[in-house]
Structure 1
Amino acid sequence: MTKITRRAFLKKSFCFSLYTLLTSGIGYYYARHIEPSLLVVTRHSIRSPLIPKSFHGMKIVQFSDLHLGYYYSLPRLAKVVNRINQEKADIVFFTGDLIDDQRSCPFTSRIAPILQRIHAPFGKYCIYGNHDHGGYGTELYKVIMNESGFILLQNSEQRIRLVDGSEIAILGIDDMMLGNPKLEQTLRLARQELYTIVLVHEPDAASVIAQYPVNLQLSGHSHGGQVQLPIIGPVITPPLAKKYIEGFYTVSNLTVYVNRGLGMTRVPFRFFAQPEITVFTLQHGE
């Protein structure tokens, strides 16, 4: 007879309680219809002596994991775009998973005109997520994001340079699960003297990224667990989002931020994992 640990017993008990809650009238309605439609804007300052003085006060907006399709509509995307533009961002990052399933999404041709409306004078940048490669969607995602005015970073670097010659570096890694990530090759582009941001969909890549002179890692993929329970915490975590699930982490000299994303996958619920857009303000200083 298999012996069950106390923690495993508690987890099973809470999961059963969650199932009961979500299948009850009030709990189901909240997790299915209320929390998924919420939108939280989280704001953070990022300070470093490597951030040039001319970048001081610049705003970066990160959004992630839309999973457009049955659970996330175009009108909801339009509201997200309007909310992003209200922040008057200088730079915008999308960290992957645009469409949940390209094979069944009926409105792929109408996505780009909405994303085109995002305004960012110093550039819009994106990377692949696992759903962007899934269902043979690699080329479709590339076309949509290019038409939307985003620069797709696939194991590549982009410098953001101001008129005074000061600059920061953005590195983008291909998806770790379904792409062709050239992690070490791309990270070798990082320079000790240059403030460097890495965009990578799966947050658990941090253990490797921290070995290079990278200052900030921005990821998504986890959905903040999508469903969270007291004591137990997140119960729906995908591969490569088991260790870093939401918010800030420090890994050696690397700062990691995991965005909870906006959409849903697998199950049409969000519970104590509200959708978010993240606003970072860059600051020069110790």
Structure 2
Amino acid sequence: METFKRVAGAVGIALAILIIYGLIEPQLLDVEEEEAVIPGLPEEWEGEEIAVFGDFQTGMWLDNKSTMEEAVTEIIERDPAAVLMLGDYIYRPNDQSDQEIEQALEVLRPIGEADIPIYAVLGNHDFGLQNKDGEPALDVAERMRTALEAIGVEVLHNEAIPFSGTGPVLPGVEPGLFIAGIGSDWANADVPAEALAEIPADAPRIVMMHNPNSFEELPAGTAPFAVAGHTHGGQVRLESAPQWSWVALTSNEPVHVDGWIDGYGAAGNELYVNRGIGMSTVPIRINARPELTLFTLTSGE
């Protein structure tokens, strides 16, 4: 009996330490630096940086505003050519006030004020969806889109934006790079064919989406560099074993947790999954630190 008490006490102490650390880790931002190969990338884009983050989940209890602010400060200091945001900006946008939406936008506003272009897609939470079987609230998504556009964010919904150099394409100028944004998978609004329709077959492009599962629908060779979020890196997982994560074990669909996903998607397509900033259900991260990713673009030649 005495041995049992000691073991139970030790387990209780270990669990308490783990929970305390889980509450601390969301404040430990990882700034990951990666190289992204885009065949045919114009010379003026060679070596340019693109910043990627998302999954803010603003409005969740004990949300992660301070880490989001740290990521924004890092972005402004690095001054990338553009910022890509991967969705889920508000935790429960269908029942949260304009004040809570403004809280998220207030953090993002300095990026636009620094004249850094921002492009975004919407995630499942932006459609008011807590699970895949819910009914998407289109009015909620439109409210989120309008709020983002009010601070200068270009929201892409199954469409592509052409670029020339490091700014928007000008009339009569051949676009040097396209950014395509795919709609929300859980809202049954992801149509990759529409997102790619206006991009010339051999034109260099970046493809962004919220849910990594949308990546599987992209035809071979159409997404040599793609980014997604949604998974929070598993949020709670065993170190070096992303398949043993809370998100993967509680999901009824395939989960591609973080980093470059090997052997996934059609030939010639490459996907990077960002761990995001916020959390779902509980405000804890373990072995899944919040992430800002900075990609250096290269043609690979």
Fold similarity call, TM over 0.5: yes
Contact 2:38 2:225 in 1 (8 A): no
Q: CA deviation at 1:169?
A: 0.9
**TM-score, structure 1 normalization:** 0.84
Matched ranges for 1:234-253 at <5 A: 234-237=245-248, 242-250=254-262, 251=265, 252-253=267-268
Match of 1:129 in 2: 123
Query: Residue 39 of structure 2 contacts residue 224 of structure 2 at CA under 8 Å; is this kept in 1?
Result: no
> Quick one: which amino acid aligns to residue 181 of structure 1?
D
Offset of residue 123 of structure 1: 2.0
Instruction: Please state whether the residue corresponding to 2:128 is helix, strand or coil.
Output: helix
Match status 1:161 vs 2:164: yes
In structure 1, the partner of 2:7 is none
Q: Deviations over 1:132-164 (max 9, x none)?
A: 111642122112211221100011110111287
The Cα offsets for residues 62-110 of structure 1, whole Å up to 9 and x where unpaired, read as 0010101123254443333112212211110001000111214652233
Asked if the contact 1:202–1:240 (Cα under 8 Å) also holds between the matched residues in 2, the reply is no
Query: Size of the alignment, in residue pairs?
Result: 266
CA contact (8 A) 1:99 1:131 kept: yes
Cα deviation, 1:218-244, whole Å, max 9, x if unaligned, reads: 100011111112555323137587242
1:56 equivalent to 2:46? Answer yes
Residue 202 in structure 1 maps to residue 211 in structure 2: yes
RMSD between aligned residues:
2.5
Q: Does the aligned pair in 2 maintain the 1:127–1:152 contact within 8 Å?
A: yes
Q: 1:80 is matched with which residue?
A: 71
Equivalent residues of 1:127, 1:173 under 8 A apart: yes
Structure-2 residue corresponding to 1:228: 237
Alpha-carbon distance in 1 for matches of 2:158, 2:12:
43
Alignment of 1:193 with 2:202, yes or no, is yes
The verdict on how the C-alpha distance between 1:207 and 1:109 changes in structure 2, with shifts beyond 3 A counting, is closer
Compared CA separation, residues 31 and 241, structure 1 to 2 (3 A) = farther
* Structure 2 letter corresponding to 1:274: R
Indicate conservation of the 8 Å contact 1:22/1:28, yes or no: no
Question: Residue 46 of structure 1 aligns to which amino acid in structure 2?
Answer: A
Q: State how far apart, in whole Å, the 2-side matches of 1:236 and 1:222 are.
A: 7
In the aligned structure 2, how far is the partner of 1:256 from the partner of 1:98? 21
Determine what percentage of the aligned residue pairs are the same residue.
26
* Residue matched to 1:29: 20
Contact 1:221 1:241 in 2 (8 A): no
Q: In 2, Cα distance between the equivalents of 1:108 and 1:179? A: 24
2:3 alignment partner in structure 1: none
Residue 212 of structure 1: how far off its partner (Å)? 5.3
Which structure 1 segments of 5+ residues have no match?
1-19
Change in CA separation of 1:178 and 1:192 when aligned onto 2, cut-off 3 Å: same
Distance in 2 between residues matched to 1:275 and 1:21, nearest whole Å: 27
**Which stretch of the first structure deviates more once superposed, 254-263 or 238-247?**
238-247
1:274 corresponds in structure 2 to 289
